[in-house]
Amino acid sequence: MVTVTILGCGGSAGVPLIGGADGRGDWGACDPTEPRNRRTRSSILIEGDQGQRLLVDAGPDMRAQFLAAGIGAVEAILFTHHHADHVMGTDETRVLNRITGKPLPIYGMARTLDNLKQRFDYAFLPAVGPWFFRPALEATEVSPGDTMEIAGLPLTLFSQDHGMMETLGLRIGGFAYSTDLVRLPAESFALLHGLDTWVVGCFQRAPHKVHANLDQVLEWVRILQPRRTVLTHMGSDLDYGWLRRTLPPGIEPGYDGMVLQPGAAPGR
């Protein structure tokens, strides 16, 4: 059994977007008086029974997310892909190095790790503890289809189609996480049967080239029948209150700081 915290559930620009009539944010269709509409960039924390913590993605809001959720350290980071809204908090990991006193293991596909090594080349140089004035990361390549332990948590990784690139989804027991996707290969879709809880990206109502829209997600849920579905990576088109009133039972919008405790997969 794991505990999952949604650190951020927004799209690449967050909600609100920079701008607006008064310069204090463009909220789109979202009600600015609803605090659950304020969304930082998408990331989750998975915590195991022994307190081990796996961070999934480290976007530009990582520092604020950790402070808001009371996170002091993690054992490892899994990167789903290398888009900026999922990796630009990487420099913040130097503080995690200081807390643990050692390099931090990170995991990702080959293309993701190559991109991180280009953007943050200094983070992959030999460690310089105990002060860690720069990050110290130890990279391990993973691939869709891998079943492995990361931070002591048994994960199954699967492929997702993000339009312009492949991204990683993950399953652990009855829980699965799927951000930044517009389609699922058949073999990945098959892995998602029998879920208790699915956190899945849903960017807007209208079709989008690289992100699933609301109708797509509803159709996936109709077929897969997870007990609970939580939407993430939402843009300013998806108001929290409207979603709560509109979505069928068993499907709900996520929000920053939401804590989930998925049960075992149904029938297992």
Give the pLDDT mean for 141-161.
98
Q: Which residues contact 180 (CB under 8 A, 6 or more apart)?
A: 42, 80, 81, 83, 86, 160, 162, 167, 201, 210, 211, 233
Pairwise CA distance, residues 189 & 128, whole Å? 43
At 128 the pLDDT is 86
Does residue 266 carry a pLDDT above 80?
Answer: no
Does residue 122 carry a pLDDT above 60?
Answer: yes
Model confidence band, residue 267 (pLDDT cutoffs 50, 70, 90): very low
Strand partners, 178: 200
Q: What percentage of the chain carries pLDDT values higher than 70?
A: 98
**C-alpha 83: how far from its chain's center?**
12
pLDDT digits (tens, 9 = 90+) for 33-79: 999 999 999 999 999 999 999 999 999 999 999 999 999 999 999 99
Cα Rg, the chain, nearest whole Å: 18
Under 8 Å between Cβ of 109 and 81: yes
pLDDT digits (tens, 9 = 90+) for 252-264: 999 999 999 998 6
Does residue 268 carry a pLDDT above 90?
Answer: no
Does residue 265 carry a pLDDT above 90?
Answer: no
At 218 the pLDDT is 98
pLDDT digits (tens, 9 = 90+) for 165-189: 999 999 999 999 999 999 999 999 9
At 1 the pLDDT is 83
What is the rounded average pLDDT for all residues in the chain? 97
Dihedral of alpha carbons 91, 54, 50, 64, sign: positive
Does residue 149 carry a pLDDT above 50?
Answer: yes
Does residue 96 carry a pLDDT above 70?
Answer: yes
